[in-house]
Amino acid sequence: VYSMGNSTSRLYSALAKTLSSSAVSQHQDCLEQPDLAQLDPIDPKDLLEECQIVLQKRPPRFQRDFVDLKKNTASNHRPIRVMQWNILAQALGEGKDNFVQCPMEALKWEERKCLILEEILAYKPDILCLQEVDHYFDTFEPLLSRLGYQCTFFPKPWSPCLDVEQNNGPDGCALFFLKDRFELINSANIRLTAMKLKTNQVAIAQTLKCYETGRLFCIAVTHLKARTGWERFRSAQGCDLLQNLKSITQGAKIPLIICGDFNAEPTEEVYREFSNSSLNLNSAYKLLSPDGQSEPPYTTWKIRPSGECRHTLDYIWYSQHALNVNSALGLLTEEQIGPNRLPSFNYPSDHLSLVCDFSFNQDPDRLL
C-alpha cells in the first residue's frame, strides 16, 4: 500500500489492495458493483488533501476555465455536470504506448492515480464517464462509491492490458453518477458489433431519473476501435451503438448524452453518422468555436516513435432538442501542454478531460 500521508489508514489503506488479473476477469459480465455500504463515506476535501500530499513534488494543476454558453435560457434546476475522460490505462501507459518524451517516473501509478483523482475532485461531476479504466476494482470503485457515486464497469472482452506483464486486469469503460441526484431506472452493457460480428469495443448506457426535476434521461459511455485503417469498422460500431440508443431512448423521447473516445476525427463517417442521426444530436464542444460549428483543434496530443499525434477524438454528444449546454470547460493551451506533450508530470493522460454543464429544455418536444 502506497502511503498517502498521515491519514492513510483513515482513507486509503483498506482500499488499495490490487486484485490479480484473474480476480478481475471474474467480474467481466457483472452489471452491479459489490455492496460497499459498510465503508464509511469520504469527504472530498479530505481525499483531495491526501492526493495533494502525494503530489507535493509535482507541478501544480493546470488552470482551466469554464466558458459560459447560456443563450438567455432560464433553468429552474441545478445544472447536470458531465465529465468525459480517457484516463489512459496504466498497463498501456507503462507497457505499450511508447510516449517517448514522457519520463517513466511521470507514469508511476502511485502518483498518477492521485493526478486523476485530483482532476475529478476539482470539477465535481454529477456524472463521470471514463475509458481505459484498468484500476476499477482497487481504486475507482471503492473511492468513488465512498464519495457518493453509483459505479458500473464493463471491460473489453480482449483487453490489450492483459498482454502487459504485471497488469491489473482488463481495461474498459466505467460510468459513475451521484446517487443523491439520480435514480437508476435501467442499465445496459453493450458489446458493439460491426458487420454483424461482435467486436472488442463496448458501451454502457443507463437511464436515470433526476430527483430534482423528475425528468428521465439516458447517459452512455463508449470507446471505439483505434488506429488508422479502421474507419469503416468504427462507422459500423457507431451505427450499432446508435441503433441500441434509439431503442433505449424510445426514438429520442428520452434525452440522451453520449460520452466517448471515438478514435475518429470529425472528418470520419462515424462522426457524420452521429451528427445526422434521427436522435437529433449535437457535439457540445463545437459550441466553444466562434461559429458553433467547429470541433476543438485537439483533445489528445502525444509524441510516439512514429512522431507527433495531435487529434480531436473525444466528444460529448447530446439531444439538442431536449438539453441546453450551459457551459463547457476550456481545453489546455499548447503552452500549458508544453513541448513534450502528454502525458507528463503535470497531466496524467494523453487525452484531455471534457466537462459540460447541462440543463433540461422547458419544452423539449418543440424542436423535435
Q: Which pLDDT score, from 0 to 100, does residue 72 have?
A: 66
Tens-place pLDDT, residues 127-171: 999 999 999 999 999 999 999 999 999 999 999 999 999 999 999
**Residue 13 above 80 pLDDT?**
no
Mean pLDDT within 62-79: 87
Helices assigned H by DSSP within the chain: 8-11, 21-25, 44-54, 90-95, 109-123, 141-146, 231-248, 269-275, 334-337
pTM (predicted TM-score) = 0.90
Rounded CA separation 120/61 (Å): 12
Q: Which tens digits make up the pLDDT trace of 300-359?
A: 999 999 899 999 999 999 999 999 999 999 999 999 999 999 999 999 999 999 999 999
Helix, strand, coil distribution of the chain in percent, nearest 5: 25, 30, 45
What residue ranges define each of the domains in the chain, with the CATH number in brackets? 79-164+175-363 (3.60.10.10)
How many Å apart are CA 256 and CA 113, to the nearest integer?
Answer: 30
- Give the CB-side neighbour count of residue 226, counting CA atoms within 13 A: 10
The amino acid occupying position 345 is F
* Residue 136 DSSP code: I
Q: How far apart are CA 50 and CA 114, in angstroms?
A: 8
CA distance 282 to 194: 24
Judged by average pLDDT, the poorest of 6-15, 209-218, 330-339 is: 6-15
Burial 112-138 (b: 16+ CB within 10 A, else e): bbbbbbbbbbeeebbbbbbbbbbbbbb
Q: How far apart are CA 352 and CA 310, in angstroms?
A: 12
Distance CA 265, CA 51 (A): 34
Look over the chain and give the mean of its residue pLDDT values, rounded to a whole number.
90
Q: Is 148 in contact with 180 (CB distance < 8 Å)?
A: yes
Q: pLDDT confidence of 362, banded at 50, 70, 90? A: confident
